[in-house]
Chains A and B, each alone.
Chain A
Amino acid sequence: MNLFSLIGDFSTFFFRSLFISWKIRTTKWRILEQVYYIGIGSLPIIIIIAIFTGLVSIVQTSYQLIGTVPRYILGTTLGRMVMIELGPILTALMVSGRCASSMAAEIGTMRVTEQIDALEIMAIDPYRFLNLPRIIGIFIALPILTVISEFVALICGAVYAHYFLNVPFSVFNYGLTHYFYAKDFFGGLVKSLFFALVIAASGCYFGFKVKGGAKEVGKATTYAVVTASILILVLDFLVALVIFG
């Protein structure tokens, strides 16, 4: 399959999964299940990543800035970095590694063991049954995870600045809030919504298209994560161009 037909197939698949009758009576439980699995399940790893993102960023920023600018700028810079870029992208990449792969593996296994055919035979649309809850579930969970990770990263940064860099909370907070633009925060969240869609679409797509057996399922999980990660970075650039460019 060449690149263009792949892109076409991928988009068709995505829209086919979304623009169908939602049958909300039964689908809502499956959406909640995914929100829980993606959201709660990813929380520990996201928090760990966020702690170190905050720490590394504050160390790097202070190394580059301290002595040249007022100290409150540390709060400003860290806030912007985390909200615009680091929070959304690191959260998305982590969730992609965790969820795009498990979606592809789960759906792919269902494909090779004919469980998807079984759904078809029961007149249950597998796009609605399998893809829709995953797409909506991650669309809800990822922005929430992103906000949590930004919050944790900023707290860690502030604590480090307070105790090790001689930048009291009040000064850090002044820099963070005085120069706060809503655009920074919401721009980051808009990104994470796009990231959510590509993670779920890649996971479901490569799982759905598996033909063969265990080896192909393995390949599908790799493709899903690689594709999702690349698309996340591409979209990051495009959205940045539109919102901040």
Chain B
Amino acid sequence: MIEVKNVSKKFDSLIVLDNVSFNVGDARLIVILGPSGTGKTVLLKAILGLMSVDSGEVLFDGKSIQAIDESEIYEIRKNIGFVFQSTALFDSMNVLDNIALPIIEHTSASTSEVKDKVTQILEIIGMSGKEKLYPRSLSGGMKRLVAVGRALALDPKYLFYDEPTTGLDPIMRDRVVKLIIDLKKNHAKSGIVVTHDLDTAKAVGDEIYMLKRGKISKLKQIRKEVYNG
């Protein structure tokens, strides 16, 4: 369970997060909707401790990441996968090495065990046979899938997706949405999906929140008016 408690963050005079609170229960996906530039990415990075907050705290299974030291944050992060909006794949490594890196770094798996694990992940994300390709020769959608794959490498309990479907064609978007749902249902991943795509939000979200002008509010149902107004 992740608890976000009264998190505030501003850049100079720009208030991006204003007393934001919500919880992510186990095996649940929370969707955060919001127009471009409201602070969705900032919120995710604040939750993960990649960005400091001005006030408030974030608790992972009861442990506040604002109160613990770096090595403990790293321990928590081994349970977290994050799919960056920009994918942030390692461009000097091929698909195999991208996904294998966290496994090699954090487990004592043998080379063949690592290969098996990566093959298994590639199957889940539907990218079998693409291990030798480099990020520069992947399409935007394929990069997104590999980024999900890399986030899955350590079998994390939590998955965070920053705009996983933005800029994809409908077919690729369906693939990513199906993957997110599959991961939640069959692999018990909980987490947060940030998006400004209403269809994605409806398809994957157990609960849907709207972030706007720093404030977060829970939506009972999504209507276009809410989003625009």
Does chain A have a CB within 8 A of B4? no
Does chain A have a CB within 8 A of B209? no
In A94-124, which residues have CB < 8 Å from any B CB? 106, 110, 113-115, 117-118, 120-124
B48, B78, B105: residue with the most chain A Cβ atoms closer than 10 Å: B105
Q: B residues within 8 A CB of A125?
A: 74
- Indicate if the CB atoms of B84 and A117 lie closer than 8 Å: yes
Question: Once the chains are docked, how many angstroms separate the CA of A114 from the CA of B51?
Answer: 13
Question: Once the chains are docked, how many angstroms separate the CA of A123 from the CA of B156?
Answer: 12
In B110-127, which residues have CB < 8 Å from any A CB? none
Does chain A have a CB within 8 A of B35? no
Q: A residues within 8 A CB of B91?
A: 113, 115
Q: B residues within 8 A CB of A124?
A: 101-102, 105
Q: How far is the CB of B107 from chain A (nearest CB, A)?
A: 11
Q: B residues within 8 A CB of A117?
A: 45, 50, 84, 88
Q: How far is the CB of A67 from chain B (nearest CB, A)?
A: 58
Question: Once the chains are docked, how many angstroms separate the CA of A120 from the CA of B65?
Answer: 14
- Indicate if the CB atoms of B48 and A122 lie closer than 8 Å: no
Number of interface residues of A (CB under 8 A): 15
Q: A residues within 8 A CB of B92?
A: 106
- Indicate if the CB atoms of A122 and B101 lie closer than 8 Å: yes
What is the chain A residue whose CB lies nearest that of B98?
A118
Within 8 Å by CB of B78, from A23, A26, A113, A123, lies: A123
Within 8 Å by CB of A123, from B75, B86, B88, B89, lies: B75
Within 8 Å by CB of B84, from A26, A110, A114, A123, lies: A114
Contact residues of B with A, CB < 8 Å? 45, 48, 50, 74-75, 77-78, 80-82, 84, 86, 88-92, 101-102, 104-106, 150, 153-154
The 5 closest A-B pairs by CB, nearest first: A114-B88, A123-B74, A118-B88, A123-B77, A122-B102
A113-B91, A117-B84, A121-B82 provided; 10 other pairs, C-beta below 8 A? A23-B105, A114-B84, A114-B86, A115-B88, A120-B77, A122-B101, A122-B102, A123-B102, A124-B105, A125-B74
